[in-house]
Structure 1
Amino acid sequence: MPRPSRPLLSRKSIVATSLELIDRDGLATFSMPGLASAMSVRAASLYHHFRDKAEILSEVARYMVSQTAIPARPSRDEWQEWFVSLAANLRDVLLEHPHAAPLMLQFPPRDILVAVTENSAAVLVEYTDFPSYVHILILDTLEKVTLGAALSEVMKAPEKRDLIYPHVDHVEHPILTRGLASNPWTVDEIFRESVRALLAGVATRFEQPRVGSP
């Protein structure tokens, strides 16, 4: 029998199938034998491409982060909105894969795609006057806030993900009830506003006068 014109397996196809299985069945059930069965190969064949299950999961996490849309370079006055969009885009990717999103706890973006963080740092260098240590403060905090927001949402039952405080009782929790009644934002909008508030606070605390400013 002649060999197939293309290899039956590749790192790309293994990662894609792994994410499909995790999306469908959950992270807890993912296994090398199950992946091999889904790809109609022997489990041993997978080890020609990946050292072990952990390396596959790391690549799945890397793939998800790499799907985050990078906004176009901003003007100097719009750098904060650039980071709002970037954080929202990463959150959206994780919400699209709720079963796989917990991989970010084991393989956070700062570990698996440092180049993305370096790119974000370059935006801060180009468009702000912050000292370098403030860049680290912003990048560290934004990643944690974004991952925390996404993971807290994927842990909710799907029917409750659009609810900010799903267990508020209007009799027992009158203050929260009034706040929710007057709230103008969706869950998505609250996330964006929280990032704006964070960045505005950093700017107020650390931004230095531009050279030549009175």
Structure 2
Amino acid sequence: MTPQKSPRLDRKLVADTALRLLDEVGLDGLTLRAIAAELDVKAPALYWHFKDKQALLDEMATEMMRRMDSAGEPPVGDWRKAYRAAMHGLRAQLLRYRDGARVYSGARFTDTSYAAGLDAGLRLLVDAGFTLTAAARAWYTGYSYTIGYTVEQQAMGPNPFVGEAGYDLEARAERLAAHPLAAAAGPVMFGDFDEGYAQGLEAILVGIDTWRTGRA
């Protein structure tokens, strides 16, 4: 019987395997040793492709970006509608992975696959009357808000990957009984994350529109 050949080990295979394993073990449990075991190789074999875990996280984030770009359409039309769609789309993609926003946060992309989408988004804002500086600030503000909000959501909200219910709001309210407003704010902050994100993004849209009109 001919032995079955293992797939050739390369950066894409390692990153794809790491993203798949991420959903099972989370970012804290994702180690080069665990990935090597999943690939049936020795851990040192991975160091030919990635010098450390951060280098692997950078490649994982880049692969996430590639998948986002292949799944979405470039922003066109009304700038507000396109801006909303781009940011909601980013959040939806990050939520596809356990701890996806933590992987993505602070990563340095390993290629320029992100550039076409960024260029199209900035062009849309510039054509709508933003200066390039205001357009860049507007895009990065929404981008940073989306990543940060999603990091908090994945830390505090329900975890569909392991079936956890999320923050115990009743227990929180009991602990904060002496601080009624803080206690009552719990369901707003940690209840409906979709609504919370959408309302926050609308507040950002109102703010960045002042940069476009020169009222800031």
- Report the TM-score range of the alignment, normalised by the length of the smaller protein: 0.7 to 0.9
The aligned residue for residue 29 of structure 1 is 29
Alpha-carbon offset, residue 138 of structure 1: 0.2
Q: Residue 108 and residue 146 in structure 1: after superposition, are their counterparts in 2 closer, same or farther (change >3 A)?
A: farther
Give how far 1:74 is off. Answer: 2.7
**Superposition TM-score, scaled by structure 1 size:** 0.74
Please name the residue that 2:10 is paired with. 10
Cα distance in 1, alignment partners of residues 138 and 43 from structure 2: 43
Q: Classify the secondary structure of the residue corresponding to 2:105.
A: helix
Shift of 1:91: 1.0
Residue type at the aligned position of 2:153: E
Deviation at 1:25, TM superposition (A): 1.0
Counterpart of 1:120 in structure 2 is 121
Percent same amino acid among aligned pairs?
A: 24
Q: Which has the higher helix share?
A: 2
User: Does the CA contact (< 8 Å) of 2:58 and 2:108 recur in 1?
Assistant: no
Once residues 212 and 145 of structure 2 are traced to their aligned partners in structure 1, the CA distance between those partners, rounded to angstroms, is 19
Secondary structure of 2:51's counterpart equals coil
Equivalent-residue separation in structure 2 for 1:19 and 1:179 (angstroms): 32
- Contact 1:71–1:85 under 8 Å retained in 2: no
Counterpart of 1:173, as a letter, is P
- In 2, distance between residues paired with 1:189 and 1:180? 12
Is 1:51–2:58 an aligned residue pair?
no
Q: Secondary structure at the match of 2:50?
A: coil
**Matching residue's letter, 2:195:** E
> What do residues 98-120 of structure 1 show as CA deviations (whole Å, max 9, x unaligned)?
334212333167x9865143332
Cα deviation for residue 149 of structure 1 reads: 0.7
Does residue 189 of structure 1 match 2:191? no
Residues 135, 166 of structure 1: alpha-carbon distance in 2 compared, 3 angstrom cutoff: farther
Q: How far, CA to CA, are the matches of 2:122 and 2:172 in structure 1?
A: 39
8 Å contact kept, 1:73–1:82: yes
**Letter matched to residue 149 of structure 2:** A
Distance (Å, rounded) in 1 between the aligned partners of 2:149 and 2:112 = 20
Deviation at 1:186, TM superposition (A): 4.2
- Distance, in Å, in 1 between the alignment partners of 2:106 and 2:59 is 12
Unaligned runs of 5+ in 2: 159-164
Shift of 1:58: 0.8
Q: Give the TM-score of the pair, scaled to structure 2.
A: 0.74
Which residue of the partner structure matches residue 83 of structure 2?
83
Quote the residue 1:206 is aligned against.
212
Unpaired runs of 5+ residues, structure 1, are 209-214
CA RMSD, aligned part only? 3.7
Q: Which amino acid aligns with 1:15?
A: A
SS of the equivalent of 1:26 reads helix
- Which residue is 2:19 aligned to? 19
Partner residue in 2 for 1:173: 180
Q: Is the 8 A contact 1:91 1:147 kept in 2?
A: yes
Q: What are the Cα deviations for residues 78-114 of structure 1, in whole angstroms up to 9, with x where unaligned?
A: 21111111111111122222334212333167x9865
Offset at 1:134? Answer: 0.5
Give the aligned residue type for 1:207. T
* 1:122–1:168 Cα change, 3 Å: farther
Q: How many residues matched? A: 202
Matched residues in 2 for 1:202 and 1:156: separation? 28
Whole-angstrom CA distance in 1 between matches of 2:25 and 2:5: 32
AA in 2 matched with 1:189 = E
Distance 2:113 2:142 in 1: 15
